[in-house]
Amino acid sequence: MPLTYYSRAATREFWSEHWGGQDVEALLRVARRSPLTALIENALPRNGRILEAGCGLGQYVILLREHGYAAVGVDWSLEALTRCRKAAPTAPVAVMELRALALRTGGVAAYVSLGVVEHDPSGPAEIVTEARRVLAPGGILVLSVPYLNGARRLFRGFLSRAQAKIRDRGGEFYQYGFTRSEVRDVLEATGFRILSDTPYDPARVLRKAIRQLVGAHGSGAETRGPTADGTDRSLIRRLARALLYTPPLLRFLGHMILFVAVKR
């Protein structure tokens, strides 16, 4: 069974408030340098419409279009999409329900979903089934969810008890966290053949500590310059990232996992 997280229910109001605290340009800057972007683009076909379902402020719709993809986005938050259009007036985005997309069957070449399906209390199957409907034969699904990595599995009992306490204090369902095999089971049961699964975004807590260690919260000059003992900060950051992105640490510490699958 997936690990259940409790907090505040991820309703339309929740997401409107969540995206209200974000900035499109800042998210674009993150996307442009994120290793996730290369994983996504390597999976996408160059021709045909690319749908991002649950696009939020639309940074990946904007970025993919900049890179020559025919990307469009849908979300249930009108406020988020309005802010996307303010930043990129020509961005093709629309409000839709992900379980019942107002799109023709077989009309898209690829379907991208980044950190979305885990917020459905009934599980991801209904949204994934609808994704399969709108994909063309042989279409590509790119899907990411919170990952029950090695560290989380090791401390799963503690995490489950902590989440139960939040629930008992009035917390509502927020999201699920999945093992690799749990996601594989859902995708295969809904008619997909899995091509790859890749953990990413390793160890948020560790990365925050590393940024503080090398002065990443200081000015740009401080970040690029040497430390007090003459060590090059940028070199430390590159070495730390290279270590964190080795396969063993990704499996043990990856925050999310990205699946690429093809419609059977």
| Residue 146 belongs to a domain | yes
Please count the structural domains in the chain.
Answer: 1
| Residue 37 belongs to a domain | yes
| Residue 133 belongs to a domain | yes
Distances (CA, A) of 185 to 111, 118, 160, 180, 190: 19, 15, 22, 9, 9
| Residue 85 belongs to a domain | yes
| Residue 190 belongs to a domain | yes
Q: Percentage of residues in the chain with pLDDT exceeding 90? A: 76
| Residue 241 belongs to a domain | no
Residue 153 belongs to a domain with what CATH number? 3.40.50.150
Window from 67-81, 127-141, 238-252 with minimum mean pLDDT: 238-252
Q: Quick one: pLDDT at residue 182?
A: 98
| Residue 87 belongs to a domain | yes
DSSP SS3 for 49: strand
Instruction: Note down the domain range covering 120.
Output: 3-202+255-263
| Residue 36 belongs to a domain | yes
Q: Quick one: pLDDT at residue 214?
A: 60
Q: For residue range 73-99, what is the model confidence (pLDDT) as tens digits? A: 999 999 999 999 999 999 999 999 999
Q: For residue range 184-235, what is the model confidence (pLDDT) as tens digits? A: 999 999 999 999 999 999 866 565 556 656 654 444 444 445 555 555 677 7
Q: Is residue 51 over pLDDT 90?
A: yes
The DSSP result for 205-236, as a single string, is: HHHHHHHHHHTTTS-HHHHHSB-TTS-BHHHH
